[in-house]
């Protein structure tokens, strides 16, 4: 049985938010190297839908930090 997109999102949202926060917190540590590092970390995430959720959450965290 495959999950609908909404079910997949609901089941994985907390994990994606947690992963994005973990990655985002490394920004201060890695500074200039963070962008390539975080891209490589997202590339390793599976399935692609989950990686996309993490990427979107990272973008949200960046927007918050800039404002």
Residue 37 lies in a domain: yes
Residue 1 lies in a domain: no
* pLDDT bucket at 64, cuts 50 / 70 / 90: very high
Domain span including residue 15: 11-62
Q: What length does the chain have?
A: 67
CA distance linking residue 1 with residue 11, whole number of Å: 15
pLDDT over 90 at 3, yes or no: no
pLDDT at residue 2, as a whole number: 83
Residue 2 lies in a domain: no
Phi, psi of 15 (to 5 degrees): -65, -40
**Mean pLDDT taken over the chain:** 96
Residue 39 lies in a domain: yes
- What separation, in Å, do the N-terminal and C-terminal C-alpha atoms of the chain show? 42
Question: pTM of the predicted model, to two decimals?
Answer: 0.92
Whether 55 and 24 have beta carbons less than 8 Å apart is answered as no
């Amino acid at each position: 049985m495959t999950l609908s997109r909404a079910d997949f999102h609901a089941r994985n949202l907390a994990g994606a938010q947690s992963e994005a926060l973990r990655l985002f917190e490394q920004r201060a540590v890695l500074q200039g190297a963070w962008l390539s590092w975080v891209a490589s970390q997202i590339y390793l995430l599976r399935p692609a839908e989950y990686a996309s959720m993490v990427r979107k959450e990272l973008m949200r965290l960046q927007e918050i930090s800039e404002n």
